[in-house]
Structure 1
């Protein structure tokens, strides 16, 4: 994996993308983050107030610098949500498939994000009226962001099938009604972790491209410019020897001995 310094030395500095990870307490936000950043997982639950991480990933031939903010999920800490959290390029909304309440809790965050999206569209409209383009520099002259954020919903702990309360169909429908992409993940077994963040990066890049063209609504986006559910991904994607394994490839590879579902179960855990 090329470092930020080596990428810059090659004349191609990493493209910055900020991602805020939100959701109810105990749904696995920190586990997903640490699995991505450190390839670690722990069964111990330690409530997070707010942690920040930086990593680089090379996706589709481009190196990206990802700034991750792992936010508090407990209701008593939500008032501490800083405005900077809402300034992210993308939001990963995490719920626990063994808890219906954790899915319901995402409504609080989507309302805040949707208000932020409306503000950004207003900023972009003012910039266009002033004869200014919406550049991938992201901000207008007043410092306001102009590209609507991306939203991806992740149903975490998909390895706990015997305790499932939220079906994949229900999670997908919840995401579809709110214009979000949808994945099911397992931080413990490293299912769809790299894939989820690769999807976020691709959607942010596309959103920026469309914003530069003055497009705020397409068949792939809702009126706020956020993504609608994603189509299933192909297999065996790889961007070079220095890449993480491609989308649809990374994750556990079972020989059929895992529970009653066997290896075929994991083949169904793709994105929508």
Structure 2
């Protein structure tokens, strides 16, 4: 007897960051497996793509937003209604990391609103859940806090790096975000980044369904372990097993001499 096919699970993701950091390149890599070196400032583009992750099919709705400061006021409220946010910076530009603070503050305000929604729903005798929930005059509002993940893009440009991976990771952890380094040009960690976002969203929904939003440490939920480093030029077949990421008190990974950290391309 054939089993009934489940429809794809919808997840909305807003991609934000400073102009020129590679937001559109990451998006196009995921959606069309394309990359271009031409820079065309985006005001706002929408895409959709289907992915199967952990045996479940998901329909991802992606919004690639404006990064230039003069366009930031055009952010629609729908952008803040996303299930998750990918905050992208350019590892060759320290300013692009600093620019993420603006977007992070907007997202944190949205997270507070959703927690307030959950609290009001509980007081009204309703189970918050992760879907839009009706309460108070028929208004519908999300109650699951958004997932945040920081992506340090252009990790293939090591010779021009201005933002050490440890600094990007520390910035993300302090603000309750997951962290990845990516390269849209070389297609490094693109699929992995969105798969991680999907898993974090589903975990957040599970907690919301259990009514645990208020009792959950958002910072702890946002943290992610660094990926295994890419192969080194000296030994392209090896992946340095056991290396888990930087010591944030110094640029050392794994061994005390820190030799591997100096060769690290991306993790």
TM-score (normalizing by structure 1)? 0.82
The equivalent residue for 2:132 is: 138
Pairwise CA distance, 1:134: 1.6
How many residue pairs match? The answer is 239
The equivalent residue for 2:176 is: 179
Q: Distance in 2 between matches of 1:219 and 1:167?
A: 30
The equivalent residue for 2:211 is: 214
With over 3 angstroms needed to count, the CA separation of the structure-2 counterparts of 1:167 and 1:42, relative to structure 1, is same
Pairwise CA distance, 1:233: 5.7
**Long gaps (5+) in structure 2:** 242-263
Q: Distance in 1 between matches of 2:116 and 2:214?
A: 14
Question: What is the correspondence of 1:1-272 to structure 2 with a 5 Å cutoff?
Answer: 10-141=4-135, 142-216=139-213, 221-222=218-219, 227-232=221-226, 269-270=266-267
SS at match of 2:85: strand
With over 3 angstroms needed to count, the CA separation of the structure-2 counterparts of 1:193 and 1:128, relative to structure 1, is same
Q: After superposition, what is the alpha-carbon deviation per residue over 1:208-243, rounded to whole angstroms, capped at 9, x for unaligned?
A: 000111112567633xxx833212468xxxxxxxxx
Pairwise CA distance, 1:10: 4.0
Q: Distance in 1 between matches of 2:96 and 2:175?
A: 16
Pairwise CA distance, 1:145: 1.1
With over 3 angstroms needed to count, the CA separation of the structure-2 counterparts of 1:125 and 1:196, relative to structure 1, is same
Q: Distance in 1 between matches of 2:149 and 2:237?
A: 26
Larger Rg: 2
The equivalent residue for 2:251 is: none
Q: After superposition, what is the alpha-carbon deviation per residue over 1:22-73, rounded to whole angstroms, capped at 9, x for unaligned?
A: 0000000000000000000000000000000011111111110000000000
CA RMSD of aligned residues (A): 2.3
With over 3 angstroms needed to count, the CA separation of the structure-2 counterparts of 1:233 and 1:99, relative to structure 1, is closer
TM-score (normalizing by structure 2)? 0.83
Q: Distance in 2 between matches of 1:265 and 1:187?
A: 21
SS at match of 1:196: helix
Q: Distance in 1 between matches of 2:127 and 2:162?
A: 46
**Long gaps (5+) in structure 1:** 1-8, 235-247
Q: Is the 8 A contact 2:129 2:211 kept in 1?
A: no
Q: Is the 8 A contact 1:123 1:140 kept in 2?
A: no
